[in-house]
Protein backbone atom coordinates (compact mmCIF):
# COMPACT_ATOMS: atom_id res chain seq x y z
CA UNK A 1 0.00 0.00 0.00
CA UNK A 2 1.01 3.59 -0.49
CA UNK A 3 2.48 5.44 2.50
CA UNK A 4 0.20 7.80 4.42
CA UNK A 5 0.56 11.57 4.24
CA UNK A 6 -1.28 13.78 6.73
CA UNK A 7 -2.83 17.05 5.60
CA UNK A 8 -4.37 19.91 7.55
CA UNK A 9 -7.53 21.54 6.18
CA UNK A 10 -8.22 25.14 7.28
CA UNK A 11 -5.74 27.61 5.76
CA UNK A 12 -3.79 24.74 4.24
CA UNK A 13 -6.32 23.64 1.63
CA UNK A 14 -8.88 26.43 1.83
CA UNK A 15 -9.28 29.94 3.24
CA UNK A 16 -10.49 30.09 6.84
CA UNK A 17 -8.79 32.65 9.07
CA UNK A 18 -9.79 35.51 6.77
CA UNK A 19 -13.47 34.88 7.60
CA UNK A 20 -12.73 35.25 11.31
CA UNK A 21 -10.80 38.49 10.74
CA UNK A 22 -13.73 39.96 8.80
CA UNK A 23 -16.16 39.20 11.62
CA UNK A 24 -13.73 40.41 14.27
CA UNK A 25 -13.75 43.81 12.55
CA UNK A 26 -17.55 43.87 12.64
CA UNK A 27 -17.35 43.05 16.33
CA UNK A 28 -14.91 45.91 16.99
CA UNK A 29 -17.30 48.29 15.24
CA UNK A 30 -20.23 46.97 17.26
CA UNK A 31 -18.38 47.53 20.54
CA UNK A 32 -17.24 51.08 19.67
CA UNK A 33 -19.69 52.76 22.11
CA UNK A 34 -18.05 50.95 25.03
CA UNK A 35 -14.44 50.13 24.13
CA UNK A 36 -11.54 50.77 21.79
CA UNK A 37 -10.50 48.13 19.29
CA UNK A 38 -7.52 47.10 21.43
CA UNK A 39 -9.68 46.63 24.52
CA UNK A 40 -12.27 44.67 22.54
CA UNK A 41 -9.61 42.43 21.00
CA UNK A 42 -8.02 41.71 24.36
CA UNK A 43 -11.36 40.94 25.99
CA UNK A 44 -12.43 38.64 23.16
CA UNK A 45 -9.12 36.77 23.19
CA UNK A 46 -9.35 36.24 26.95
CA UNK A 47 -12.86 34.85 26.58
CA UNK A 48 -11.80 32.59 23.72
CA UNK A 49 -8.98 31.11 25.80
CA UNK A 50 -11.51 30.11 28.44
CA UNK A 51 -14.16 28.86 26.04
CA UNK A 52 -11.84 26.71 23.95
CA UNK A 53 -11.32 24.48 26.96
CA UNK A 54 -15.10 24.30 27.43
CA UNK A 55 -16.45 24.23 23.89
CA UNK A 56 -13.53 23.48 21.60
CA UNK A 57 -12.48 25.22 18.40
CA UNK A 58 -14.68 26.51 15.62
CA UNK A 59 -17.30 29.04 14.65
CA UNK A 60 -19.84 28.11 17.32
CA UNK A 61 -17.36 28.69 20.13
CA UNK A 62 -16.23 31.91 18.47
CA UNK A 63 -19.79 33.22 18.32
CA UNK A 64 -20.39 32.30 21.96
CA UNK A 65 -17.20 34.12 22.93
CA UNK A 66 -18.33 37.26 21.10
CA UNK A 67 -21.73 37.19 22.82
CA UNK A 68 -20.16 36.80 26.27
CA UNK A 69 -17.58 39.49 25.55
CA UNK A 70 -20.21 41.90 24.25
CA UNK A 71 -22.24 41.58 27.44
CA UNK A 72 -19.20 41.96 29.67
CA UNK A 73 -17.57 44.87 27.84
CA UNK A 74 -20.87 46.78 27.58
CA UNK A 75 -21.66 45.97 31.22
CA UNK A 76 -24.94 44.47 30.07
CA UNK A 77 -26.00 47.50 28.03
CA UNK A 78 -25.86 45.83 24.61
CA UNK A 79 -29.31 45.18 23.12
CA UNK A 80 -30.81 41.85 22.10
CA UNK A 81 -30.85 42.72 18.41
CA UNK A 82 -27.10 43.27 18.42
CA UNK A 83 -26.58 39.90 20.07
CA UNK A 84 -28.82 38.36 17.44
CA UNK A 85 -26.63 39.95 14.75
CA UNK A 86 -23.58 38.26 16.24
CA UNK A 87 -25.33 34.91 15.93
CA UNK A 88 -26.22 35.73 12.32
CA UNK A 89 -22.54 36.43 11.60
CA UNK A 90 -21.80 32.89 12.70
CA UNK A 91 -24.47 31.52 10.37
CA UNK A 92 -22.91 33.50 7.52
CA UNK A 93 -19.48 32.09 8.31
CA UNK A 94 -20.76 28.52 8.33
CA UNK A 95 -22.53 28.99 4.98
CA UNK A 96 -19.68 30.86 3.29
CA UNK A 97 -18.49 29.16 0.07
CA UNK A 98 -15.28 27.16 0.39
CA UNK A 99 -12.40 29.01 -1.28
CA UNK A 100 -9.61 26.62 -2.19
CA UNK A 101 -6.12 28.07 -2.01
CA UNK A 102 -4.12 28.41 -5.21
CA UNK A 103 -2.82 25.17 -6.65
CA UNK A 104 -4.51 22.89 -4.10
CA UNK A 105 -6.33 20.67 -6.61
CA UNK A 106 -3.21 20.00 -8.63
CA UNK A 107 -1.12 19.46 -5.51
CA UNK A 108 -3.58 16.93 -4.05
CA UNK A 109 -3.68 15.02 -7.32
CA UNK A 110 0.10 14.83 -7.34
CA UNK A 111 0.33 13.83 -3.67
CA UNK A 112 -2.50 11.33 -4.03
CA UNK A 113 -0.62 9.47 -6.75
CA UNK A 114 2.16 8.56 -4.29
CA UNK A 115 0.43 8.62 -0.88
CA UNK A 116 -2.81 7.84 0.88
CA UNK A 117 -4.03 11.24 2.02
CA UNK A 118 -5.21 11.41 5.63
CA UNK A 119 -6.96 14.70 6.40
CA UNK A 120 -6.42 15.67 10.03
CA UNK A 121 -8.21 18.78 11.18
CA UNK A 122 -9.56 20.09 14.47
CA UNK A 123 -12.75 21.84 15.46
CA UNK A 124 -16.46 21.15 15.42
CA UNK A 125 -17.00 17.78 13.65
CA UNK A 126 -20.27 18.86 12.01
CA UNK A 127 -18.80 22.07 10.62
CA UNK A 128 -15.48 20.54 9.58
CA UNK A 129 -17.02 17.54 7.82
CA UNK A 130 -19.46 19.87 6.06
CA UNK A 131 -16.53 21.95 4.79
CA UNK A 132 -14.85 18.81 3.48
CA UNK A 133 -18.06 17.87 1.66
CA UNK A 134 -18.59 21.35 0.20
CA UNK A 135 -14.93 21.68 -0.81
CA UNK A 136 -15.33 19.02 -3.50
CA UNK A 137 -12.15 17.35 -2.24
CA UNK A 138 -13.66 14.51 -0.20
CA UNK A 139 -12.95 11.79 -2.76
CA UNK A 140 -9.27 12.68 -2.74
CA UNK A 141 -8.83 11.70 0.91
CA UNK A 142 -8.20 8.17 2.12
CA UNK A 143 -9.59 9.01 5.57
CA UNK A 144 -10.76 12.15 7.43
CA UNK A 145 -10.18 12.75 11.15
CA UNK A 146 -11.63 15.69 13.10
CA UNK A 147 -9.86 16.12 16.45
CA UNK A 148 -10.75 18.25 19.47
CA UNK A 149 -7.09 19.26 19.73
CA UNK A 150 -3.86 18.59 17.87
CA UNK A 151 -1.13 17.49 20.26
CA UNK A 152 1.26 14.53 20.52
CA UNK A 153 -1.35 12.35 22.25
CA UNK A 154 -4.08 12.90 19.66
CA UNK A 155 -1.68 12.29 16.78
CA UNK A 156 -0.45 9.08 18.45
CA UNK A 157 -4.06 7.96 18.87
CA UNK A 158 -4.95 8.55 15.21
CA UNK A 159 -1.84 6.84 13.91
CA UNK A 160 -2.32 3.88 16.26
CA UNK A 161 -5.91 3.53 15.05
CA UNK A 162 -4.66 3.06 11.50
CA UNK A 163 -1.61 1.01 12.45
CA UNK A 164 0.85 3.69 11.31
CA UNK A 165 4.28 3.97 12.91
CA UNK A 166 4.96 7.67 13.65
CA UNK A 167 8.43 7.40 12.12
CA UNK A 168 6.75 6.56 8.80
CA UNK A 169 4.33 9.47 8.99
CA UNK A 170 4.59 12.96 7.50
CA UNK A 171 2.21 15.85 8.24
CA UNK A 172 1.65 18.96 6.14
CA UNK A 173 -0.03 22.11 7.42
CA UNK A 174 0.01 25.86 7.94
CA UNK A 175 0.27 25.81 11.75
CA UNK A 176 3.64 25.17 13.34
CA UNK A 177 1.93 24.76 16.70
CA UNK A 178 -0.69 22.24 15.55
CA UNK A 179 0.71 20.58 12.43
CA UNK A 180 4.46 20.54 12.90
CA UNK A 181 5.66 20.48 16.51
CA UNK A 182 3.33 17.70 17.80
CA UNK A 183 4.27 15.40 14.92
CA UNK A 184 7.99 16.01 15.36
CA UNK A 185 7.53 15.29 19.07
CA UNK A 186 6.31 11.75 18.34
CA UNK A 187 9.06 11.01 15.83
CA UNK A 188 7.33 11.89 12.59
CA UNK A 189 8.17 14.43 9.92
CA UNK A 190 6.35 17.64 9.00
CA UNK A 191 6.24 20.29 6.31
CA UNK A 192 5.19 23.85 7.15
CA UNK A 193 3.17 25.68 4.50
CA UNK A 194 2.66 29.18 5.97
CA UNK A 195 -0.60 31.02 5.41
CA UNK A 196 -0.93 34.78 5.10
CA UNK A 197 -2.58 35.08 8.53
CA UNK A 198 -2.15 33.13 11.75
CA UNK A 199 -4.52 33.19 14.72
CA UNK A 200 -2.74 34.43 17.82
CA UNK A 201 -3.65 31.24 19.71
CA UNK A 202 -1.88 29.24 16.98
CA UNK A 203 1.43 31.03 17.47
CA UNK A 204 4.05 28.52 18.67
CA UNK A 205 6.52 28.82 21.52
CA UNK A 206 9.64 30.43 20.04
CA UNK A 207 12.03 28.31 22.13
CA UNK A 208 10.34 25.10 21.00
CA UNK A 209 10.56 26.16 17.36
CA UNK A 210 14.25 27.02 17.73
CA UNK A 211 15.01 23.53 18.97
CA UNK A 212 13.77 21.68 15.85
CA UNK A 213 14.34 21.73 12.11
CA UNK A 214 11.61 21.24 9.50
CA UNK A 215 11.07 22.14 5.83
CA UNK A 216 9.13 25.30 5.04
CA UNK A 217 7.53 25.62 1.59
CA UNK A 218 5.56 28.45 0.06
CA UNK A 219 2.90 26.32 -1.62
CA UNK A 220 1.45 22.84 -1.23
CA UNK A 221 2.69 21.92 -4.71
CA UNK A 222 6.28 22.05 -3.47
CA UNK A 223 5.63 19.22 -1.00
CA UNK A 224 5.15 16.70 -3.80
CA UNK A 225 8.45 17.71 -5.35
CA UNK A 226 10.32 17.42 -2.08
CA UNK A 227 8.79 14.03 -1.21
CA UNK A 228 9.70 12.63 -4.63
CA UNK A 229 13.28 13.77 -4.20
pLDDT in tens, 75-90: 999 999 999 999 999 9
Would you say the CATH fold of 17-95 matches that of 4-15+99-228? no
Could you state, in order of their start, the residue ranges of all structural domains in the chain? 4-15+99-228, 17-95
Q: 127 pLDDT exceeds 90?
A: yes
Query: What whole-number distance in Å separates Cα of residue 167 and Cα of residue 189?
Result: 7
CA atoms within 13 A on the CB side of 114: 12
Question: pLDDT of 93-110, one tens digit each?
Answer: 999 999 999 999 999 999
pLDDT of residue 13: 97
Q: 200 pLDDT exceeds 90?
A: no
Please name the fold of domain 4-15+99-228: Rossmann fold (3.40.50)
Average pLDDT over residues 143-169: 96
Confidence of residue 57 (pLDDT cuts 50, 70, 90): very high
pLDDT of residue 110: 94
Query: What whole-number distance in Å separates Cα of residue 51 and Cα of residue 63?
Result: 10
pLDDT of residue 209: 87
Q: 222 pLDDT exceeds 90?
A: yes
CATH class of the 17-95 domain in this structure: mainly alpha
Query: What whole-number distance in Å separates Cα of residue 195 and Cα of residue 193?
Result: 7
User: Which residues fall within 8 angstroms of residue 150, CB to CB, at 6 or more apart?
Assistant: 120, 122, 175, 178, 179, 182
Amino acid sequence: MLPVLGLDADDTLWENEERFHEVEQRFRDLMTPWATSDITDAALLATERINIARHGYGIKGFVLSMVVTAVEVSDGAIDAWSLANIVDWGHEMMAHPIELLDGVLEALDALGSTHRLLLITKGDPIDQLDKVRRSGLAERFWRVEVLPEKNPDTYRSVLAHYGIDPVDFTMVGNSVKSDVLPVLAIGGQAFHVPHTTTWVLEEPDSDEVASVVFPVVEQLSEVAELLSS
